[in-house]
Amino acid sequence: MSTEPGHTFQVDLRGLVDLLSHHLYSSPKVYLRELMQNAVDAITARRQLDASAPAQIRIRTGVNGGIQVEDSGIGLTEADVHTFLATIGRSSKRAEDGGLDLSAARQDFIGQFGIGLLACFVVADEITVVSRSARDSNAPAVEWRGRSDGTYQIRALPSGTVAEPGTTVTLIPRADGSEWLEPNRVLRLARHFGSLLRYDVEIVDRFGDVSKVNDTPAVWDRQYGSPLARREALAGYAKSTFDFTPLDTIDLDLPLVGLKGVAFVLPTPVHPTKRSGHRVHLKGMLLSDSAQELVPDWAFFVSCVVDTTGLRPTASREALYEDETLSAVRDAIGERIREWLVGLAASDLTLLRRFIDVHHLAVKALARYDDRLLALLLPWLPFETTDGNVSLDEFARAHPVVLVTQSVEEFRQVAPIAASAGLGVVNGGYVYDRELVHRLPEVRPGVTVADLDPETVSAHLDTVDPAAELAAAAFLARARAVCDKFDTDVALRSFQPVGVPAMLVDNREARHERRRAELSADADELWAGILGSLGSSAPRAQLIVNHLNPLIRKIADIPDAALSETAIEALYGQALLLSRRPLRPADHALLNRSFIGLLEFAAAAAGTNATGGGTGNGNGGNGGGGPAGGTAADTASDARGDV
């Protein structure tokens, strides 16, 4: 059985360039990073042969509408050009036998994937490479000219054409890529990517003017006359880089992975789901300015700038490769931020208070899992309580029994009444708060924490004298009939503050049952049956009427049934608003109906008074020009004004 001869894959260069530009790289701007990266690696390779070799990268703009990148690196022979530039994906930074070079020296290179020059076709139609090798002084310089259609030419140059070893790459732009080769854009990109490169990089425009790209040593590695001068320099760097003046700075130094840099503490609050982007340089070259994976999720209150030699880039060299090393670095940076917080608590309480004021949410997130920080920072963490916004430590000293709600809605229902009754309640509806309150006994022995349901508060309200409740029996019966339509019971109590006429309370089971009933009413027959089978006998909501409130006494004395029912509906609506729970369409209709009803009664009463008293209209109740009609009209006016 014969075997067919082997075949070689054919590559559509235009299709591959399209793949690079739309899927591997985030933007065409990376072409300049790839050119600078190749130049840096070429110089590094030459300096491994000769430590005194020059180290210079020069980028010329305005060259035939494109750019030229010159380096004093190791250069290429004609054989190298055939091997590396004519084979897509092969790296010139390989071992002599063609395998990957994994030696310690290999770690000095930035590039890993051998596709850097190919990326330049994203912006260029033609690329010319002129190079002379430093490894073979007798070898002639060579020129490689490649085009975006996949064709290329190679020729040896006459002796003396190129005096010194090194490489010059010239890009002639594509019609849709010329904007990326404009002089000002090139200067900005070079500084963006190369500000921390270890070799000098210059931009030379067509007039011969030179602009320096590097800003080295890094701001965190410079010598300053005083700690204050260093802080000011770091703050200025943060302002120019991130456009904010940091609350403080945290030095990052992890020698095992060659990482150095600074974490800048944000001066304004940020939502925990919006993680900061961090600038990561790999051996001086900017890898990413949005590397969210560098720090733990809870440290969303810092933005970092680091330079590292030990972390791995992804294939596009625009993000960090997720591996055990990155995980260890993330943990180490998190520990450094913890140490900074501990140091503030021990030495700078003023700054700690400022930090807590801005980022208490972040500290709460961290304290959930860190017992040491929980005990250390608990005195400073603010919580919404019936005593106002106070620290949990201060609140626990005033209330040995701490009650905590499960939602903001529950807290707002009971807060005014609970405060008057002397109950200590914490709003547990905000993220992390309820969990932290329940951990309070771990760090403050002797404190008791329990969940609070609104009905617990009603149990602390004063009962009404039996005679007073008997006198209000007719009113209560009418109120229960009205509120039964809202699946709500009515109770008469005495409580502070007197200015609150009524309080609407319900527990979680009642709310769930009400929601189930609403869904069942709107569902088709099948789902209505399923939801109906899930029904429970949960206690109903309660409208607790304050016997001490003057408005309640006035409503209780209304003899007109229609006016009394309208006033009770308005009372229920007011209690509904005070509970701050979300209003349903039926609730909005109730508020509108009761308000319009009271206006109608008031208008009717005004008409009756204008005629000197007469027969009341259908809405006005049973009073004509006599005392009963006058009392109803006066009460309607009072009820309208108070409610």
DSSP 540-588: PEEEEEETT-HHHHHHHT---HHHHHHHHHHHHHHHHHHHTPPPPHHHH
Residues that constitute the known binding site for ATP = 34, 38, 71, 167
Taking the C-alpha atoms of residue 58 and residue 69, their distance in angstroms, rounded to an integer, is: 6
Residue positions in the annotated binding site?
A: 34, 38, 71, 167
Q: CA 277, CA 239: separation in Å to the nearest integer?
A: 15
Dist. CA 458–CA 418, nearest whole Å:
9
**CA distance linking residue 44 with residue 24, whole number of Å:** 26
Q: 612 CB contacts (<8 Å, ≥6 apart)?
A: 625
* Contacts (Cβ under 8 Å, ≥6 apart) of 8: none
The encoded tokens of residue 584 equal 């349903």
Is the sign of the CA dihedral 92, 96, 100, 103 positive or negative?
A: negative
Q: How open is the CA angle 436-380-359, to the nearest 5 degrees? A: 80
CB 428 within 8 A of CB 411: yes
Q: Do 482 and 526 touch, CB atoms closer than 8 A?
A: no
What's the CA gap between 563 and 630, in Å, rounded?
13
Q: How many CA atoms lie within 13 A of 150 on its CB side?
A: 9
Q: Which residues contact 631 (CB under 8 A, 6 or more apart)?
A: 557, 559, 623
Pick from 415, 414, 447, 451: which is nearest to 433 by CA?
451
- Nearest-angstrom CA–CA distance, 268 and 271: 10
Alpha-carbon span 622 to 48, nearest angstrom: 108
Closest CA to 40 of 259, 241, 205, 286: 286
How would you label 285-306 residue by residue, b for 16+ Cβ within 10 Å and e otherwise? bbbbbebebbbbebbbbbbbbb
User: Is residue 490 within 8 Å of residue 479, measured between CB atoms?
Assistant: yes
Token duo for residue 426 = 């914490």
Please say whether the dihedral angle defined by the alpha carbons of residues 253, 258, 261 and 265, taken in this order, is positive or negative. Answer: negative
Question: 371 near 364, Cβ under 8 Å?
Answer: no
| Dist CA 124 CA 180 (whole Å) | 10
Give all strands (DSSP E) within 420-578, no chain letters: 425-426, 448-451, 462-463, 488-494, 502-505, 541-546
